[in-house]
Each structure stands twice: as C-alpha cells, then as structure tokens.
Amino acid sequence: MINTRKFIATATLSILTITGFAQQKPILGTEKLKKYVDYFNSTDTEAVKNYIPNSEAFKWLADQAPLFECPDSVLEQNYYYRWWTYRKHLVKTPEGFIFTEFIEPVKHAGKYNSISCALGHHIYEGRWLKDNSYLKDYIKFWLYHADVGQTKQRFHQFSSWVDDAVYQNYLVKPDQGFLKEILPALDKDYGKWESERQLKNGLFWQNDVKDGMEESISGSRKDQNQRPTINSYMYGNAVALDKIAELLGDKLLAGKYKNKATAIKKLVQDSLWNTSASFFETRKAKGGSAEVREAIGFTPWDFNLPDDNANYAKAWDQLLDTAGFKAPWGLTTAERRNPTFRTRGTGHSCEWDGALWPFASSQTLKGLANLLTNYKKHGKMNANIFYQELHQYAASHVKNGKPYIGEYQDEKTGEWLKGDNPRSSFYNHSTFNDLIINDLIGLKPRQDNVLEIFPLIPKNQWDWFMLDNVSYHGKIVTILWDKTGTKYNRGKGLLVFVDGKEIYNGKDLKPLKVKMD
C-alpha cells in the first residue's frame, strides 16, 4: 500500500510539471515543517489512519501546503498543526476523495463518515493545497453521490455555503471546465433549498441543529426560525452563482441570481437587523426578534452582505465587551449578559448557547477581516483587534499542554467540554490556515492576473515573516516582509516573488496590487 501511494505521489508530481505548476524550490525550506511534523507525530497514537498516515505526513505537506514563518510562535505552530490535522481527514473512497469532520465514525454521518456541516470550511481551507483534485472530488461527492442509497438527506442535513466556497476555490485554482461541469447541479441544488426552506416572505428558515448549532438561545429543533446563518449562506451562494454564470457567459442565469442576491440582502437588513440591539438577530417563527445577540449575527459579513454604514458596523462593538462576546479563552457563541447563557448542559450534549466553538470563531474572524478589508466603516474595529483575537484563537488549540483541536470549549478555563471522547480529537469543523493566508497575510484571490495583497498585520507588530510555496493560478507565490533586510537577505521591506522571480519590492507593509507577469 505504501509503495502504491509513493507511485501515486510521483505520478502526481509529474502531472503537475506537465500541466504548468512550477517546480520552484521553496525559498523558506522545509526544516521547520519537519520539526513540527515530528513533534505532532510524537504526541499521537494514530488510532485512525486515513489516506496519508503520519509516516508520510511530512513528505505530503512539504509538497502540498504553503510554508509559513513569523515571530509569533503560537500562530506559527498552530498553522502547521492545522495542516497536519487537516491531512488526517483526507479519505479515499470508491466515489473519490472526501474530507471527514470527525476522525472517529459517528452515528449521524453518511457514507464514509461524511458530514456536510463544515463543507464550506473544508473548501476554504483546502483551496490552498497544491493539488486541487482532492477538493474537486469532494465537491462532486456532495453534488452527485452523497444522497445516493441513503435513507435520509445527507447533503441538506446541514445548511451550506457550498456555491460560495466553490467560487472562492476557483479564484485560487481557476478551472472553468470544472465550473461548467457542475453549474447545472449547483443551480438545481439552490432551487432545492428554496423549495425546502424559503418562506413566503422570501427569507429562509432553519432549525438550529441543522445549522450545526443545536441548543442555541434563539434556536429550535422544530420552529421555522429565520436565522442570520442560512440567509447569509443563501445570499453568498446567490452572489457566487451570479459570478460563475457571468464567467461562463450565461447572462440569463447570472441575472437570475443577481436578483435573488439583491432580494435576500434587503430582507436580511430589513427583517433580521434589531435596531435597538444594533445587531443581526434570529427572527422567530411566531414573529419578532429573538432578542439575543449571538455569534451568528456576525455571519452576514462573511459574505459582505451588510451595507457599508456606521449603524451596521456598531454590531462589532460587542467583540470588545466582556458582557458581550469577549471571554478569557476567546469569542463566545452568545452574549455573556444573556440570563440563559451556558444553561443548556455541557459535555454530554452539544450546546451553542455560549461555549467556544471553532466553527463560530473562524466565521467571526472571517467576518471581521472582511469588515476591515472590504468596508470603509469599521466602527471600533482595527487590525490590532483582529490580530489579538486570531492569536487567542490559536492559543486555545491546546489540551494538557499539547496541541489540540476539539468540538467546544469552556470560555473561562479552556477546558474541552467533550473531555477525552476520542471523536472530538482533530475536529475538522473550522478554518485557521485560510485566516492566516487570506486574511492576516491578506492574499486576496482574483479572476484576473493581478496579485492583490491586503495584510492585517498591525503596524510594528512583526519585523519579518514569510509565506512561501503558495500555489496560486498555476504559479508559486512567495510573500515576505523583512523590515531590516537582514532576516532573509533578499532586500529590505515587502517583497513578492512569483515562480522565484521578484515582481514587487516596497518599503512598507501595506496593501498592494501587482501584475503577475
């Protein structure tokens, strides 16, 4: 089996060379990656082995993953830890590659232990791997195979922003042929969501458990509540389908989804914004707001839905408030001032009424990054706050002094609330590395040949960093910052290389746009 895998890896490298991926040797080197992988391997009993076992983790990650180095050891170690754990979830099935959510089999999973809840997170994270065929298989699995032979729906078992994620994947790894192949299925799937979950008023409803957020303060397992989550997802999906259809020359389909996106945006702002609370909140099935601020109220910014005005930006003030979402170990899933905060049981059942969830933390951080990058009205938010919360999110990845990512966490102590339940280990239910690459370093994928970078590293925070071996548009990108020029000896300031050739050199760490050739 190992020999077969080595043959596949060799063949893959040959194919990449033929298809135009540059075989550029990383500037940074793989020594640090090797050190981290050896350490992570030493802490792991490897109870479950999937497609790439620990023994092959270094070789696979050295080829597939972007390399990263920075002065913040907490961010740096967790960056490599999250690639190491993500790799654990790659499974080869008779219906192509998939990524699992739980490392151990769970009862509510579909075929091959597949669960659709974190599909969008998986795609956002995995788009930065060099070989995009893993994600293409995974996307096609959900569109064509997941529900076949099943006694209940698997793809729609949970809310999804799959269309948005597919488009964001395309921006990193352009392949119009793949988009053309799957667009009819994406279009059909959107219509299915409308038939299942759209109310007469135009908004979408969802049970909290099918949002992946059971036992939330505003939620219900039965009521048709109109939640910021599914409505933001469907807006993001409509925007993506508009862009995909436009890209493929289908103006009629593009117009259809542009109109849908416009309608949802208006409905969310008109119906889900609670003016007195200055927050996007769930609208109850029986009418009226749920009157509780929850992390899902930040979700509209994940898809750049809200208008750019100071009233909406005020929602983010709650990130700084210890009666809001700010807690010692991270950002809570509900405001701490609510009388029913953390009252729905812990450990034995899941609860989204206050405890820390990586799923929510990564969504909130993505929304904050979008606010700082794509909006002019930031309220009290700035790059320092983003950095501090990202650092805290990374620091929370620990258990008994060792790297760990689990299901959910006490906001005061950092205790993982599933205890030693093996299903919780290596929980693949969030992003982290995408937040480093796309948001902190700020590589902003585009359709054209312009390389755009919008860093959210606070001024004077770092004297140096390097992001290397990034596979983007069929090229290898390196971004480095060397304030004095003595760390990497390649020049002073911000430097960008494409396939080893310097294409930009500036003295300041600031947003830039530069053509790649």
Complete DSSP assignment for 197-252: HB-TTS-B---GGGGT-TT-SS--SSS--B-HHHHHHHHHHHHHHHHHHHHTT-HH
The fraction of the chain above a pLDDT of 70, given in percent, is 94
Q: Which residue has the tokens 């034995």?
A: 348
Residue pair 503/460 in contact (Cβ under 8 Å)? The answer is no
User: In this predicted model, which residue has the larger pLDDT, 210 or 350?
Assistant: 210
The closest of 250, 273, 280, 22 to 130, measured between CA atoms, is 22
pLDDT digits (tens, 9 = 90+) for 170-225: 999 999 999 999 999 999 999 999 999 999 999 999 999 999 999 899 999 999 99
Average pLDDT value for the chain? 94
pLDDT at 17: 36
What number is the average pLDDT over the span 421-428? 93
Split at pLDDT 50, 70, 90, the class of 11 is very low
Partner residues linked to 497 by β-bridges: 478, 502
Split at pLDDT 50, 70, 90, the class of 457 is very high
**Is pLDDT of 289 > 60?**
yes
**Is pLDDT of 350 > 90?**
no
Q: How far is CA 324 from CA 10, 208, 336, 337, in A?
A: 52, 21, 5, 6
What number is the average pLDDT over the span 235-256? 98
pLDDT at 261: 98
Write down the number of H helices and E strands in the chain.
14, 16
Residue 312 CA to chain centroid, in angstroms?
23
Q: Which residue has the tokens 């911000």?
A: 494
Amino acid, res. 516: M
Q: Phi/psi zone of residue 29: left (φ > 0), alpha (ψ -120 to 50 degrees), beta?
A: left
**Is pLDDT of 125 > 80?**
yes
pLDDT at 26: 74
Label the pairing between strands 464-472 and 475-482. Answer: antiparallel
Split at pLDDT 50, 70, 90, the class of 24 is low
**Is pLDDT of 378 > 90?**
yes
Partner residues linked to 501 by β-bridges: 498
Query: In 70-186, where do the E strands start and end?
Result: 90-93, 96-99
The closest of 424, 277, 293 to 357, measured between CA atoms, is 424
What number is the average pLDDT over the span 485-495? 97
Q: Which DSSP category does 155 fall into?
A: G
Neighbours of 38 (CB within 10 A): 12
pLDDT at 419: 87
Split at pLDDT 50, 70, 90, the class of 22 is very low
Q: At what angle do helices 162-172 and 228-247 cross, to 10 degrees?
A: 40
**Is pLDDT of 38 > 90?**
yes
The closest of 138, 140, 145 to 122, measured between CA atoms, is 138
Residue pair 103/110 in contact (Cβ under 8 Å)? The answer is no
Contacts of 489 (CB under 8 A, 6+ apart): none
pLDDT at 5: 40
Split at pLDDT 50, 70, 90, the class of 21 is very low
Residue pair 171/446 in contact (Cβ under 8 Å)? The answer is yes
Please tell me the least confidently modeled range out of 285-289, 330-334, 419-423, 446-450.
Answer: 419-423
The closest of 178, 158, 159 to 167, measured between CA atoms, is 178
Helical (H) or strand (E) element with 79:
helix 73-88
Q: Write down the pTM of the prediction.
A: 0.95
**Is pLDDT of 517 > 90?**
no
Q: Which residue has the tokens 């530069």?
A: 514
pLDDT digits (tens, 9 = 90+) for 66-88: 999 999 999 999 999 999 999 99
